[in-house]
Amino acid sequence: MPLRRMFAATSVLFLIVLAISPTKNYFRPYRALQHRYFRLGAARARSLKAAAEYTARPVAIQQIWLREFEDRVDRCPTCHLGAADELMQDAPEPFRVHPRTAHTPADFDRLGCTSCHGGQGLATSQVEAHGSAPDSGSPMIPPQSIEAGCGRCHSTETVTDAPILSRGRSLMARSGCYACHAVRGHESFRSEAPPLTTIALKTGGGWIKRWLTDPKAVDPNATMPNFQLAERDMEEITHYLFSVPAPPSLAAAIATAAQDPAGDAANGKKLFSESRCISCHTVEGKGNGSAPELSKIASAATRGWLLAFLRDPQAFNPKTRMPRYHFTEVESRDLVAYLEDEFRDFDAPKDLFEPIRVNQTLAENGRRLFRQYGCFSCHSEPGLVEAERFGPDLDGVGDKRAASLDFGRRTDLPRTLPAWLAAKLAAPRSFAPGLKMPSYGFGVEDTAAVVTALLALGAQPVPERYRFAPAGSTVSIPGGPVGALIDRYRCLSCHRIGDRGGDISTAPLTAEGSKVRREWLVDYLVLSYTIRPILEERMPVFRMSRDEATLLADALENFYLDATIPEDPFAGRPPADADSVEGQRLYVTLGCRACHILGTAGGYYGPPLTEAAKRLKPGWVFTWLKGPQRLRADVRCPNYALTDTDALRLTAYLETLRGVSREPAAKGAR
């Protein structure tokens, strides 16, 4: 009898255990959600038939299987049923239709959900799928940083439709994050920070202390972060910097320059504006800002150093973006006289340039600090071979579990990765004593942008076929005398050639040979004038010799061509007068004058066309008119979808625009 009773009890127990799983499944939230969605769909459906289709749908797990994307399975549509359903505009979450983006709804089946949003695709409960638990791997990317998802596949610096990510990436490069932290794809990054070998001849202990206390307070354009050094540390580092011997050639150049007689400041002022210094530098905030602010430069550097530096900046810092101008001895003297007169901090204490008598013990401690804070990562240390990256690797930082992060003293933070990253950027040393990362002084928006860029750094690179690499043209830079000129004038500091170079200039040189006429280019290089008057960044007047200009123009004419741009768009049949008259009519009816100046009338957004025929080659004009975006993707000139005939007529008209005469135009534009 007890045996039978026990048998009955265990059978019932067994049945109960068996029933738990289906019961649990029956009460899963997604089932109720799916019922709600079907009701909502039926209510919103435009026809009875469509409504019936909604109600007839079975409750089931919905999933997207990405065989080629790490074999992912995304079950997000189990709850987010309306993601691809246009009827679910403004529906309550989780049913709302996915906003339209470059990839949605087109690529749902190719990308799934987690490849952009993060989270656990296999899970079917909200907490698990969204990864909100602290020990969850790859939690969902929060909406304000969603562009981090774009960055997993798009590894380029600028990503279309992802302005926050692009801003974050450019901030990371500009702030030199990659100098200390290794990040895939940035292995070759080298900071442009100057070597510090001549600093003892450049300035004094007072100024170094001022700078170290807060670089951005001294120069708003500074990229150097604030190391929050103690008074004592600053003193030791200063002693170390003063103990570093300057290279003999530079020391001699500075010493000679210091003996130079005073120059003529009035002429210096003229040179300063002619050389277009503010195309890169700023003066009281006016200018491009990619190079140091100059308004207090004479209180930062001694006269001898300034003179020697202006005469050959590239000898002081081989990585500098500053070109080597053709200043004569007298001209550089005049320029420095102007800087000394005008660009001075009149409130500065007198002892800024006070030299330091090096104390060997302090200097030795300073050297240790120089290593300890990783200063050498940006300012190369004499005698130190290329060291490993100083900070921790950042690859995979976007996939870190919140539970694996050290929040230390920061008990005030939500235990999430984005919150940790934001706090690390805002107050890097607030987590524990003894941390080394300096403070970059990013504002709220910049911090959010950098957090987005960091969240884009996944642990594993995405599969090859998902990686987005733009068809960037790799163009080689010639060597020999032409290469030496390109290096001397640092063309690549401002102009892009292929996928290299800076973005200060709006004119990439990749197809310059197909674009401008050689004779114009030679004249322009000898005496450049302003093509776009609204820009602060203007081509400096290098005053290169006509021989140098010819050499460069010939190189551009021969190397930097676009094979798709015809030499003669008219194909041997020169346009008739009627064509250019018709072209002129098109110029008016299309509204070209909204952006281009012709004579005196028109907007100033585009380049003036008064002398278009002298500057541009007709083949390029024709190709441009047929679709400006093909030649430069982000250009504002709209594509008017002109027929070949109309484009040729307009080209014919522009070919008649030769200006009044060269001399007044060149003078006026300067």
The one among 10, 55, 629, 643 contacting other proteins by CB under 8 A: 629
Q: Which of residues 565-594 bind other proteins (CB under 8 A)?
A: 588-591, 593-594
Selected range binding other proteins among 19-27, 186-194, 252-260, 653-661, rule: CB under 8 A: 19-27
Nearer Cβ to other proteins (464/634):
634
The one among 90, 433, 641, 663 contacting other proteins by CB under 8 A: 641
Is 346 a binding residue for other proteins by CB under 8 A? The answer is no
Is 604 a binding residue for other proteins by CB under 8 A? The answer is yes
Cis preceding linkage at 105, omega within 30: yes
d(CA 557, CA 518): 7
Burial code (b: 16+ CB inside 10 Å, e: under 16) for 179-209 equals bbbbbeebeebebbbbbbbbbbbbbbbbbbb
x/- track of binding to other proteins for residues 33-52 (CB under 8 A): x-------------------
CA distances from 372 to 367, 376, 402 (A): 9, 9, 28
The one among 360, 634, 661, 663 contacting other proteins by CB under 8 A: 634
Selected range binding other proteins among 68-76, 567-575, 600-608, 658-666, rule: CB under 8 A: 600-608
d(CA 246, CA 15): 87
Q: How far is the CB of 647 from other proteins (least distance, A)?
A: 13
The one among 29, 470, 472, 481 contacting other proteins by CB under 8 A: 29
Report helix angle 518-526 to 546-559, nearest 10.
140
The one among 245, 349, 392, 638 contacting other proteins by CB under 8 A: 638
Show Cβ contacts of residue 26 under 8 Å, excluding neighbours closer than 6 positions.
Answer: none
d(CA 433, CA 446): 25
Selected range binding other proteins among 382-390, 438-446, 492-500, 598-606, rule: CB under 8 A: 598-606
Is 2 a binding residue for other proteins by CB under 8 A? The answer is no
The one among 174, 368, 546, 636 contacting other proteins by CB under 8 A: 636
Nearer Cβ to other proteins (65/604):
604
Selected range binding other proteins among 24-32, 223-231, 336-344, 552-560, rule: CB under 8 A: 24-32
The one among 460, 639, 643, 645 contacting other proteins by CB under 8 A: 639
The one among 6, 16, 52, 266 contacting other proteins by CB under 8 A: 16
Q: How far is the CB of 456 from other proteins (least distance, A)?
A: 16
Per this entry, what is the length of the chain? 670
Show Cβ contacts of residue 505 under 8 Å, excluding neighbours closer than 6 positions.
Answer: 494, 495, 496, 537, 539
CA 534-540-543 angle, 5° bins = 140
The one among 7, 10, 23, 262 contacting other proteins by CB under 8 A: 23
Selected range binding other proteins among 11-19, 68-76, 258-266, 459-467, rule: CB under 8 A: 11-19
Is 89 a binding residue for other proteins by CB under 8 A? The answer is no
Nearer Cβ to other proteins (93/231):
93
d(CA 466, CA 110): 9
Selected range binding other proteins among 227-235, 335-343, 414-422, 632-640, rule: CB under 8 A: 632-640
Which tokens hold the place of 340? 């000394």
Nearer Cβ to other proteins (101/320):
101
Number of residues that bind other proteins (CB under 8 A): 43
Selected range binding other proteins among 25-33, 48-56, 131-139, 429-437, rule: CB under 8 A: 25-33
| Closest of 386, 610, 617, 366 to residue 515, by C-alpha | 617
d(CA 189, CA 128): 39
The one among 128, 173, 640, 665 contacting other proteins by CB under 8 A: 640
Selected range binding other proteins among 182-190, 375-383, 560-568, 595-603, rule: CB under 8 A: 595-603
Q: How far is the CB of 588 from other proteins (least distance, A)?
A: 8
x/- track of binding to other proteins for residues 526-555 (CB under 8 A): --------x---------------------
The one among 602, 607, 618, 619 contacting other proteins by CB under 8 A: 602
The one among 386, 601, 661, 663 contacting other proteins by CB under 8 A: 601
d(CA 16, CA 60): 24
Is 125 a binding residue for other proteins by CB under 8 A? The answer is yes
Number of H helices, E strands in the chain: 31, 6
The one among 595, 665, 666, 669 contacting other proteins by CB under 8 A: 595
Q: Which amino acid is located at 501 in the chain?
A: G
Nearer Cβ to other proteins (3/601):
601
Selected range binding other proteins among 281-289, 454-462, 476-484, 596-604, rule: CB under 8 A: 596-604
| Strand pairing class (72-74; 64-66) | antiparallel
Q: How many CA atoms lie within 13 A of 564 on its CB side?
A: 7
287 bridge partner residues: 282
| Closest of 538, 549, 542 to residue 507, by C-alpha | 538
CB 296 within 8 A of CB 289: no
Q: How far is the CB of 536 from other proteins (least distance, A)?
A: 12
Q: Please give the backbone phi and psi of residue 39, each rounded to the nearest 5 degrees, phi first.
A: -65, -45
Q: Which of residues 142-181 bind other proteins (CB under 8 A)?
A: 143, 146, 161, 163-164
Show Cβ contacts of residue 93 under 8 Å, excluding neighbours closer than 6 positions.
Answer: none
Q: Please give the backbone phi and psi of residue 465, each rounded to the nearest 5 degrees, phi first.
A: -70, -10
Q: Which amino acid is located at 147 in the chain?
A: E
Is 61 a binding residue for other proteins by CB under 8 A? The answer is no
Show Cβ contacts of residue 187 under 8 Å, excluding neighbours closer than 6 positions.
Answer: none
Q: How far is the CB of 638 from other proteins (least distance, A)?
A: 4
Q: Which of residues 476-495 bind other proteins (CB under 8 A)?
A: none
Is 102 a binding residue for other proteins by CB under 8 A? The answer is yes
Which tokens hold the place of 78? 């189990």
The one among 32, 50, 578, 660 contacting other proteins by CB under 8 A: 32
d(CA 668, CA 670): 5
Q: Please give the backbone phi and psi of residue 517, each rounded to the nearest 5 degrees, phi first.
A: -80, 140
Residue bearing tokens 């190189």: 555
DSSP state of 269: H
Q: How far is the CB of 591 from other proteins (least distance, A)?
A: 4
282 bridge partner residues: 287, 293
d(CA 150, CA 115): 9
Q: How far is the CB of 531 from other proteins (least distance, A)?
A: 16
Q: How far is the CB of 555 from other proteins (least distance, A)?
A: 33
CA 277-174-444 angle, 5° bins = 110
Rg, C-alpha atoms of the chain: 32
**Residues at the interface with other proteins (CB under 8 A):** 12, 16, 19-20, 23-24, 26-29, 32-33, 99-102, 125, 143, 146, 161, 163-164, 534, 588-591, 593-595, 601-605, 627, 629, 634, 636, 638-641
